[in-house]
Chains A and B, each alone.
Chain A
Amino acid sequence: QSVLTQPPSVSGAPGQRVTISCTGSTSNIGAGYDVNWYQQLPGTAPKLLIYGISDRPSGVPVRFSGSKSGTSASLAITGLQAEDEADYYCQSYDTSLSGYVFGTGTKVTVL
């Protein structure tokens, strides 16, 4: 029942730049709500990676960046590293559901 759509998978070689899109609608991202991103390493709980569209919590490497335009948002990983292989989820708030919503999730593979 995810209302935010992400590509199922993206891949890249070490050092490359990859981007993950998060497509929403006028009731969530397009309504002006912040987009947050989470990284989930295998077998672990999700970890906040980006909040408020583009801010990084303390300790998150600068190679992770976020952006937003209209009803979509993106997460970019610049200088891909082997340790970045994980699942990534976007998250926002939806006014029609009156609650938080997650993206469908994207698996990042480092070739």
Chain B
Amino acid sequence: QVQLQESGPGLVKPSETLSLTCTVSGGSISNYYWTWIRQPPGKGLEYIGDIYYSGSTNYNPSLKSRVTISVDTSNNQFSLRLNSVTAADTAAYYCARVRVGSFDFWGQGTLVTVSS
């Protein structure tokens, strides 16, 4: 069974960079797309972007100028960087595997708060 685990700081200051890593276990990161999704408190889900194990990426146009997703196949990890954060970026951040256009395995999520 594939498992995903997000890790990173739970508190980020405004204007700084949010950095999260997703570690995949129970399966290889190869041959799949992997995605980041976020959910502000009390609100709905928002697709941030995705990455193929080879490194090709797709980003949500509304976040594209601030987002970078990268992959580290040797450690079975992929990462998210979101720069110039504001309070509006406060959310639970989830990593997930993409399979045939759906998100079949999810991490438990990590809450990131943007505050000084």
Residues of A within 8 A of B (CB): 1-2, 33-34, 36, 38, 44-48, 51-52, 57, 89, 91-93, 97-105
Interface of B is mostly: strand
Tell me the bound Cα distance from A98 to B99 in angstroms.
17
Residues of B within 8 A of A (CB): 35, 44-47, 49-50, 58-62, 94, 99-104, 106-109
Q: How many pairs of residues, A versus B, come closer than 8 Å at their CB atoms? A: 67
Which of A2, A48, A99, A105 contacts B59, CB < 8 Å? A99
User: In the assembled complex, which residues on chain B have CB atoms less than 8 Å from the CB atom of A45?
Assistant: 94, 106-109
Interface pair A99/B49, CB less than 8 Å apart: yes
User: In the assembled complex, which residues on chain B have CB atoms less than 8 Å from the CB atom of A2?
Assistant: 44
Tell me the bound Cα distance from A99 to B63 in angstroms.
12
Tell me the bound Cα distance from A13 to B1 in angstroms.
35
Q: Given contacts A46-B94, A102-B46, are A38 and B58 in contact (CB under 8 A)?
A: no
